[in-house]
Structure 1
Amino acid sequence: MDPTKEQRRLCCPSGQEKSPPRGSGLVGKGCFKGLEIFLAALCFVYFAKALAGSYLKSTITQIERRFDIPSSLVGVIDGSFEIGNLLVILLVSYFGARLHRPKIIGTGCLIMAAGTFLIAMPHFFMGRYSYERPLVHSANSSINVSPCAQDSRDPKFIPSENPHRNLGTGCEKDLGNSMWVYILLGNLLRGVGEAPIQPLGISYIDDYTSEDNTAFYIGCVQTSAVIGPIFGFLLGSLCAKLFVDIGSVNLDSVTITPADAHWVGAWWLGYLIAGGISILATIPFWFLPKEQPRAEMHKNSGTSSEQSRFILEEQNEANTEQDQVHLLNMVKDFLPSVKDLLGNPVYFLYLCGSVFQYNSLIGMVTYKPKYIEQQYGQTSSKTNFLIGLINIPAVALGIFSGGVIMKRFRINILGAAKLLLGPSLLGYLMLFSLFAMGCKNSSMAGLTVSYQGSAQISNQENGVSECNVGCRCPLSHWDPVCGENGLTYYSACFAGCSVSSATGKRAEFYNCSCVGAPASHSGGGSAVAGSCAKGRDCSKMFLYFVVMSVMTSFALSLGGTPGYMLLLRCIKPELKSFALGIYTLVIRVLAGIPAPMYLGALIDTVCLKWSSKNCSGRGACRFYNMDAFRYIYLGMTLALGTVFIFMTAAVVLMVQKRFHPTENKAADGRCTGSALPQNGNLVSNLNLLQTTYWAHKETRL
């Protein structure tokens, strides 16, 4: 990674290749040394923040079950990160560029680490997890209980609780579940700490590198930011396999498996790991100087001919600012700078289109793990593993390919706009195919079908039938069992089972009055713990979904780098940091905050069976209408994406109208003159397309 002599010559003017003057505060003997330390530190920070953000996405379903909360509330928790970022992003991006940027970034890392640790704290305050399983037994012993007979003896029967549970029952349990507030506050604190990293880190690199090297440096940052979510989801997959109270209970006494509807993994463990990584990331920034030696090209501060022509067409006058300005002058320039940016029609239209795009992608990535688990019956561990190992690398390849295409064909600003539109249009068209790749609703007796397995029932909340009315089963009890007739029942009690046998984590039930018995048996059929499998067709559909999801992720991420080029190329160079801050602010307010909330609320509307709390009403959703879930999840993604496509098409037309290249095309079909200049000024302005929002963010996925 050592720079060549030619790179050093470009970076350092003659006579400055030796050690900097004493007292200058600069690090290293060459002008590259301090900057390369900053680059390595920034790459690690991007990795840390991307890991923590993606890990939060991977634990959403675990948090929902552990705290017994609906998807709409989970959306509020997810959006709290954007709220925290919103509180400080404008001040940081505007004033931070004039202050000690490395130390501000280091402070942000400390705050981000504190927020990550806070998210894990409820686990240590709540007591041990209790799940609704009346069979409590050891792995090396067997028991026989009668679910129906036991319930019938006491009309106020309550399923037995986990003996390791510390909390009491009733409202005390609900009070423990309300500790999700700590997760919200911790995520909000993470947003505050993350605010200075992107605008100040990218602008710092761009200010002090030669334009020949900037593309490589920004590429390093992008790569680390894409690697972060890979490890984040893989960490989520590992933690989802571990029981939530690992280290506190005897695992032999746990009667459920990761495939069970009540399973909650060790969601808190990953936050402790992510917080520790953030602490390590903050260390180098406290030893870096406020400024680095400026490269020769930046000293001359000339812009490319293409950008100069484009800006002159946008505005009749150009403001020149001094490098050092008084704080009062900075405040006075704030509103004019905002007006300058929002008055740029290309910037404004691209900003509006991005709002719809990120509403689409953020909502999709936030609930993608939940969608896969519910639609295809996959475990949280497998879902996170697939997202981390397949989807995110597809996004990384898309981002990388977009940059390669831009550099290889030296695409100008008009080409960047077209390269943004084309792959995005293709990606959203491919999403249409996902409507046909869903699984049918499970046959849930008393919920989606009658107890005879035929007609749709009228009262979906009534699980009581003639075959189980004598059992007096509590309607709030949810512990699904699969009958040999292919129907799933609320619990063994609702299946009318009078005999059970369990060894370890396997439970079987017999003489079930609601389960049709074969002709060779009398007294009722049998059932096993857990919901019935969705069938071979669902497994095939899941495979098709994974393949199409990877292709869609690649297509949507391919336009990410050209989009950032378009964003930064149509504005004044001195407003780069502020433009990124405005862009990030608007995306946070109009997409990052509301998208998880309203999509979560819409998903809640298709819930067929809710858990109930003793004091505070309904809790988490137990069972969804899968068809309606698919239509809402994919439909909202496509509707918002369609608006983005139309607005991007308008951007292309506007750029085509305003951008008038003066040079002819070369014989090989590449643009010259008006294309990307040899010094790489266009590439120097690359920034990471938010990987937590791939296509989605993941997602964006």
Structure 2
Amino acid sequence: MADKSEKNGDAKRRPGELTPEEEEQLYRDHPLTDDTTCGYGPMRSAFLQKFANKKAFVFLYGILGCVYSATYSYYNGTITTIEKRFKIPSKTIGFISIGNDISTMLVSAVITYYAGRGHRPRWMTFGLYTVVAFCLLNALPHLLYGAGQDSLMLTREYGATANPNETSELIEEERRKVLCRPEGGVPCDSSAGSLAPQLILFGANFIAGIGGSLYYTLGTSYMDDNIKKSKTPALISLSYFLRMLGPAIGYSLASLCLKFFISPSLTPTITTKDPRWLGAWWIGWMVLAVMLFVMATVIGLFPKQLPRAAVRRMIEQERLRAKGDKAALAAAENPPERTSLSDMMKTFKRLLRNSTLMCNNLAGIFYFVGYSPYWIFMPKYIETQYRQSASVSSLVTGTVGLVFSAVGILTSGLVISKFRPRARYLAGWNVIVGIVTVMGMVSYVFLGCDAGDATTRSLLHSGELSEVTKCNADCNCDYVPYAPVCTADGRTTFISACHAGCGNYYINDNGTKVYTECSCVPRGNVNGSWVSEGGGEVLAGSCPVDCMRPFITFLAIVCLLKFVGSTGRASNFLVSVRCVDEKDKPVAMGFGLTLMSLLAFVPAPIFFGYLLDSTCLVWGKTCAGTGNCWLYNGESLRYMLNLTSAAFVTVGTIFDAGVWYFVKDLKIFDEEVKPKEVEDVQEKIVLEE
């Protein structure tokens, strides 16, 4: 039986591969050096050395990526709450979001050129500490400015009780701000739209860009250098799989935090369904900062080079030396060159002339621009299109679609490792993925909520939104905050009780606030006859809308596109690291990030932020000017956002076709060698020892 199993093992082994026993023996005989030992300085031990292997690194790198990506999805999941709290329009949020991309654009290529030739795990630790600072700075605006007056006035502790007879004169005055006030309007809020919180948020994102580029470029190149080429797709996909769980965690954490009131110690008088609800967006940053700090410190313990990878590199060099292949031997030995400005510029020129790399980079750029509104503004899109709460939008965005992305990445990596397809097959599949993605984005245009749009149109007069009409012309509603009210028949929504011309209010037995004497609302049936003039009543809150059917269809297509799109991730990575020299891998990835930041990460959020703002119907007003948008034109938003995104992805698919053309001679996997060559190398190593 033993002989039979050995024969079966030899039959399954590919030509030139060592058996686990042979590799283990060579590993044991190979002496450890400072470059292959775990720890910091004198902090080295045999216990730590047990974890100096590819499995431990891939697992920790994936888990670390999971938490790292959770920080950005948490940020995206809380964007609408941040907008409401600090009265920030979407275009400004878009500019704040690109702070990390600006720093990536400025330093990524240069810093990865130098860090890529140093101790990469320790450089990653340094970079991830900047992401810890990003988390703490994002929570700082709440610690400095608190929950805000608007939120505090909606709590019982500050006097907003259910019984109006128990309220103080101050609270009563706050409540009457939303009513029609012919004697004089509400003064503007001088604290709204403050620039200081916006600068803090931008600075946080700017710092994080350094850490993001180091984590991605150095981590993936370290894995590729220390893992057998045949196993790279599977293990890289495993790390991507673990990383893809991060957005699910981030959005779920955002959903959980937003269910708590922005000041958890207080008791709110509104529910999460109220558009004025502000959740505790700041809590999650504390949790993420602690987790990142611990894991970033641990990953820096890994050696400059994994011991088994050092043994395999030695075997390969001996094999090439025995064959007399001087060119291949020089490339395999890859002696570290002195870093210099002139060498860095030569490296950049070499990368720019690489047709395969540049087509791959340009395809990625256009894909990202096309996908960016769904990554950045997906919670907002779901809120505005399908009338879901901020908590539900964050939860759905972070779980449903991203789980399918993770499964797609893992599946594609396993398939590629098993069948080892040629480069042209990998590139051709990416073209198919692009075509399917464009078709899916176009289908989003037809998945609107008609009932919701009809409710929105009820605010329109002569095809345009007119906040001032004949019935509320004397109400002075300019600075009244957005607080929608609905007519008793559930068909018409007004921006606020002031815009409905309401002069008074009361709270009924079930706690619902009812506004009365509304000059823009017919009184309805009075003594058996219809009375069309004003004086009717409205209820607090938007009119209910059932958007569940188009919402479910939308989610189904999102899941399909997430799965199909993610299957091309491993292919893109393999093409990008195989079409350049070994020594150029880290800087090639950093150079690609620089181009991505310059042409996609920086302009895309600003561009789509302006695009979203152009469809706004109701703007909040501050003393400084325009605040955040409260209500969007759903139909215009669907057409403009989805068709624009589809156009960008189409261009990216064309560049993917260019990659397919140029990769015809590209070698993705290791060259297979004859068993006799391996035996000769092993014998030579033993004799030398």
Distance 1:318 1:456 in 2: 73
Distance 1:332 1:9 in 2: 46
Letter in structure 2 aligned against 1:199:
T
| 1:484-633 superposed matches below 5 A | 484-485=488-489, 486-502=491-507, 506-520=512-526, 524-534=535-545, 536=546, 538-614=547-623, 616-633=624-641
The alignment status of 1:194 with 2:212, answered yes or no, reads yes
Deviation (angstroms), 1:271? 1.1
Q: Secondary structure at the match of 2:515?
A: strand
Structure ranking higher in helix proportion? 2
Distance 1:99 1:438 in 2: 52
Of 47, 60, 63, the match for 2:66: 47
Question: Contact 2:134–2:204 (CA<8 Å) still a contact in 1?
Answer: yes
Match of 1:478? 482
Distance 2:115 2:245 in 1: 27
Of 633, 636, 639, the match for 2:647: 639
Distance 2:319 2:239 in 1: 24
Distance 2:456 2:479 in 1: 13
Question: Contact 1:132–1:479 (CA<8 Å) still a contact in 2?
Answer: no
Question: Contact 1:10–1:296 (CA<8 Å) still a contact in 2?
Answer: no
Match of 1:683? none
The alignment status of 1:245 with 2:263, answered yes or no, reads yes
Deviates more, 1:92-101 or 1:34-43: 34-43
Q: Secondary structure at the match of 2:64?
A: helix
Distance 2:638 2:342 in 1: 50
Question: Are residues 155 and 11 of structure 1, via their aligned partners in 2, closer, same or farther at CA, if it must alter by over 3 Å?
Answer: farther
Question: Are residues 386 and 409 of structure 1, via their aligned partners in 2, closer, same or farther at CA, if it must alter by over 3 Å?
Answer: same
For structure 1, the residue ranges without an aligned partner over 5 or more in a row are 160-168, 306-315, 660-673, 681-701
Match of 1:376? 386
Q: Secondary structure at the match of 1:141?
A: coil
- Provide the aligned C-alpha RMSD in A: 3.4
Question: Are residues 478 and 142 of structure 1, via their aligned partners in 2, closer, same or farther at CA, if it must alter by over 3 Å?
Answer: same
Question: Are residues 609 and 51 of structure 1, via their aligned partners in 2, closer, same or farther at CA, if it must alter by over 3 Å?
Answer: same
Letter in structure 2 aligned against 1:526:
E
TM-score (norm 2): 0.82
Match of 1:299? 314
Q: Deviations over 1:297-334 (max 9, x none)?
A: 433557999xxxxxxxxxx9998486444535x54422
Question: Contact 1:80–1:191 (CA<8 Å) still a contact in 2?
Answer: yes
Question: Are residues 462 and 188 of structure 1, via their aligned partners in 2, closer, same or farther at CA, if it must alter by over 3 Å?
Answer: same
The alignment status of 1:417 with 2:427, answered yes or no, reads yes
Deviation (angstroms), 1:270? 1.1
Question: Contact 2:234–2:416 (CA<8 Å) still a contact in 1?
Answer: no
| 1:3-22 superposed matches below 5 A | 8-9=20-21, 11=23, 14=26, 16-17=27-28, 20-21=31-32
Question: Are residues 131 and 198 of structure 1, via their aligned partners in 2, closer, same or farther at CA, if it must alter by over 3 Å?
Answer: same
When Rg is computed on C-alpha atoms for both structures, the one with the higher figure is 2
Letter in structure 2 aligned against 1:487:
T
Distance 2:221 2:244 in 1: 20
Question: Are residues 514 and 260 of structure 1, via their aligned partners in 2, closer, same or farther at CA, if it must alter by over 3 Å?
Answer: same
The alignment status of 1:260 with 2:274, answered yes or no, reads yes
Of 100, 108, 118, the match for 1:89: 108
| 1:243-392 superposed matches below 5 A | 243-247=261-265, 250-251=266-267, 254-293=268-307, 294-301=309-316, 320=331, 323-325=334-336, 327-328=338-339, 330-392=340-402
Distance 2:59 2:349 in 1: 36
Question: Are residues 448 and 7 of structure 1, via their aligned partners in 2, closer, same or farther at CA, if it must alter by over 3 Å?
Answer: farther
Distance 1:150 1:352 in 2: 51
Deviation (angstroms), 1:359? 0.9
Distance 1:234 1:304 in 2: 52
Q: Deviations over 1:409-432 (max 9, x none)?
A: 321101011111112211221221
Distance 1:604 1:547 in 2: 27
The alignment status of 1:141 with 2:162, answered yes or no, reads yes
Q: Deviations over 1:25-72 (max 9, x none)?
A: 614489873135444432332122111111111111111111111111
Deviation (angstroms), 1:154? 6.2
Match of 1:123? 142
Question: Are residues 418 and 150 of structure 1, via their aligned partners in 2, closer, same or farther at CA, if it must alter by over 3 Å?
Answer: closer
Deviates more, 1:513-522 or 1:391-400: 513-522
Distance 1:505 1:631 in 2: 40
TM-score (norm 1): 0.81
Question: Contact 1:447–1:461 (CA<8 Å) still a contact in 2?
Answer: no
Of 648, 657, 676, the match for 2:656: 648
Distance 1:445 1:640 in 2: 30
Distance 1:412 1:461 in 2: 61
Q: Deviations over 1:477-526 (max 9, x none)?
A: 32110112411112122223344223686322234332223324677432
Question: Are residues 11 and 204 of structure 1, via their aligned partners in 2, closer, same or farther at CA, if it must alter by over 3 Å?
Answer: farther
Letter in structure 1 aligned against 2:260:
L
Q: Secondary structure at the match of 1:596?
A: helix
Distance 1:559 1:303 in 2: 36
| 1:21-32 superposed matches below 5 A | 21=32, 26-27=37-38, 28=46
| 1:404-443 superposed matches below 5 A | 404-440=414-450, 442=453
| Aligned residues with identical type, % of pairs | 25
Question: Are residues 33 and 276 of structure 1, via their aligned partners in 2, closer, same or farther at CA, if it must alter by over 3 Å?
Answer: closer
Q: Deviations over 1:116-138 (max 9, x none)?
A: 10111000111332338998766
Distance 1:551 1:224 in 2: 20
Letter in structure 2 aligned against 1:642:
T
Distance 2:154 2:345 in 1: 66
| 1:386-405 superposed matches below 5 A | 386-405=396-415
Question: Are residues 96 and 611 of structure 1, via their aligned partners in 2, closer, same or farther at CA, if it must alter by over 3 Å?
Answer: same
For structure 2, the residue ranges without an aligned partner over 5 or more in a row are 1-12, 39-45, 166-171, 321-326, 674-689
Distance 1:475 1:423 in 2: 49
Q: How many residues matched?
A: 626
Distance 1:198 1:150 in 2: 50
Distance 2:223 2:193 in 1: 50
